[in-house]
């Protein structure tokens, strides 16, 4: 994934979010969509510019420290719903399902400076006072915003951890940047970072097509989104002495990671955009409109100490107008494991993944 090298990072640590949206898409729940955080990034940049903070927010990373989905406990879980608002007659309206959850997260934003010609650079080493001022302004503005529909609560002190927004310069040298990242990621522990695993979806599709040549990406995504238990043979293939058979998912063995289905963006339903103002009841009548549906992939929750670089943490938006694809990309690259199908995603092409014919 091509990504512009950030000049610095803006870290918004230990944010406590109350009643965030737990329904990320029509088919997934349990954590807000990554598009909610990229939208927050753009909204924050629009607020920073009038405040005189010349920062361009390029990409965002999410580390979750705690989550509490508002559901009933049990084998089958249901959202805890409220019965409001009432209808025009004052009677109870039909319930529209709204999943909510409480979160404690750290947001890491890649930033660069909006600098006019012939003006000195401010995003440089040693300019700590200016960086601290910008981080404080960003934190104050974020406190009055919504994150994935949830309200931001004051952060609690955490022993040995920064809880106030801070900024740091990203060195140009790769080795120096890696050393700095190893220091930064300690502040994000304990927690789990959401990263993209498109490669696992490609592997699962390749596996399914060995027995089901007509399998589609949707089949692969649904298959990878669940546990497919079956009898497992012993290590040497011989029957066990007690005659018992172990059951499990051979494609999701112990240690395979915390892999989850996630929405990563949107795909257009129409070949062209509708001109501004031509669609009735559009949210904004001053911009063109295009009807879309969610695009899904696989993600993985990874402890930050297992990430090797800042690019593996960050998500950035990508637009393909010709293909009608608006999605988020992540630079995570897993360490190859012995016997893994690490080459399954070679030749992976979005033109095959999003075929509308």
Q: Where are the alpha helices (DSSP H) in 125-253?
A: 128-143, 174-184, 198-208, 217-224
Q: Mind listing the pLDDT tens digit of every residue in the chain (357 residues)?
A: 445 678 899 999 999 999 999 988 888 888 999 999 999 999 999 999 999 889 999 999 999 999 998 888 777 878 887 766 777 787 777 767 788 999 999 999 999 988 877 788 888 888 889 999 999 999 999 999 999 999 999 888 888 888 899 999 999 888 999 999 999 999 999 999 999 999 999 999 999 999 888 889 999 999 888 888 888 877 666 666 677 788 888 888 888 889 999 999 999 998 888 999 899 888 888 989 989 999 999 999 999 999 999 999 999 999 888 888 999 999 898 876 544 444 444 444 444 444 332
Q: What tokens were used for 38?
A: 């990229």
User: 56: closest CA among 288, 316, 287?
Assistant: 316
Determine the pLDDT at residue 143: 92
Determine the pLDDT at residue 161: 83
Determine the pLDDT at residue 237: 64
For the chain, the residue count is 357
Round to whole Å and give the CA distance between 205 and 77.
30
Determine the pLDDT at residue 336: 66
User: 192: closest CA among 353, 313, 338?
Assistant: 313
Determine the pLDDT at residue 240: 67
Round to whole Å and give the CA distance between 279 and 291.
10
b/e sequence 90-126, b meaning 16+ C-beta within 10 Å: eeeeeeeeebbbbbbbbbbbbbbbeeeeeeeeebeee
Determine the pLDDT at residue 342: 41
Determine the pLDDT at residue 160: 82
Which residues does 203 contact at the CB level (< 8 Å), separation at least 6? 341, 344, 345
* Neighbour count for residue 307 (Cβ, 10 Å): 21
DSSP string covering 298-336, please?
Answer: EEEEE-GGG--SGGGT-EEEEEETTTTEEEEEE---PPP
Q: Where are the domains of the chain?
A: 8-71+97-196
Round to whole Å and give the CA distance between 340 and 205.
15
Determine the pLDDT at residue 135: 94
Determine the pLDDT at residue 337: 59
Helix, strand, coil percentages in the chain from 3-state DSSP, rounded to 5: 20, 30, 50
Q: What tokens were used for 346?
A: 């070679």
Q: What are phi and psi of 329, to 5 degrees?
A: -120, 145
């Amino acid at each position: 994934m091509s990504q512009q090298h950030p000049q610095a990072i803006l870290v918004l640590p230990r944010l406590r979010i109350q009643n965030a949206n737990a329904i990320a898409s029509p088919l997934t729940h349990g954590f807000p969509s990554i598009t909610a955080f990229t939208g927050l990034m753009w909204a924050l940049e629009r607020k920073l510019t009038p405040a005189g903070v010349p920062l361009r927010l390029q990409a965002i990373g999410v580390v979750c420290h705690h989550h509490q989905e508002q559901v009933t406990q049990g084998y089958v879980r249901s959202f805890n719903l409220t019965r409001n608002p009432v209808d025009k007659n004052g009677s109870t309206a039909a319930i529209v399902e709204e999943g909510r959850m409480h979160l404690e997260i750290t947001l890491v934003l890649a930033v660069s400076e909006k600098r006019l010609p012939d003006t000195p650079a401010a995003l440089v080493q040693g300019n700590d006072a200016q960086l601290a001022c910008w981080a404080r302004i960003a934190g104050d503005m974020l406190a009055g915003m919504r994150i994935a529909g949830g309200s931001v609560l004051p952060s609690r002190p955490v022993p040995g951890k920064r809880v106030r927004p801070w900024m740091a310069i990203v060195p140009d040298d790769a080795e120096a940047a890696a050393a700095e990242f190893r220091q930064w990621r300690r502040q994000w522990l304990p927690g789990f970072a959401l990263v993209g695993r498109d490669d696992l979806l490609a592997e699962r599709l390749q596996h399914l097509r060995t027995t089901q040549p007509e399998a589609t990406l949707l089949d692969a995504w649904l298959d990878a989104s669940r546990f497919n238990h079956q009898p497992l043979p012993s290590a040497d293939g011989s029957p066990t002495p007690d005659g018992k058979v172990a059951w499990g998912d051979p494609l999701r063995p112990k240690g395979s990671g915390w892999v989850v289905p996630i929405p990563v963006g949107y795909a257009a339903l129409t070949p062209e955009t509708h001109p501004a103002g031509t669609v009735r009841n559009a949210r904004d009548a001053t911009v063109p409109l295009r009807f879309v549906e969610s695009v899904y992939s696989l993600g993985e929750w990874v402890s930050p100490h297992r990430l090797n670089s800042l690019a593996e943490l960050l998500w950035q938006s990508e637009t393909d107008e010709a293909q009608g694809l608006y999605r988020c990309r992540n630079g995570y690259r897993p360490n190859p494991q012995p016997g893994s199908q690490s080459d399954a995603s070679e030749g992976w092409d979005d033109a095959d993944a999003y075929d509308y014919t």
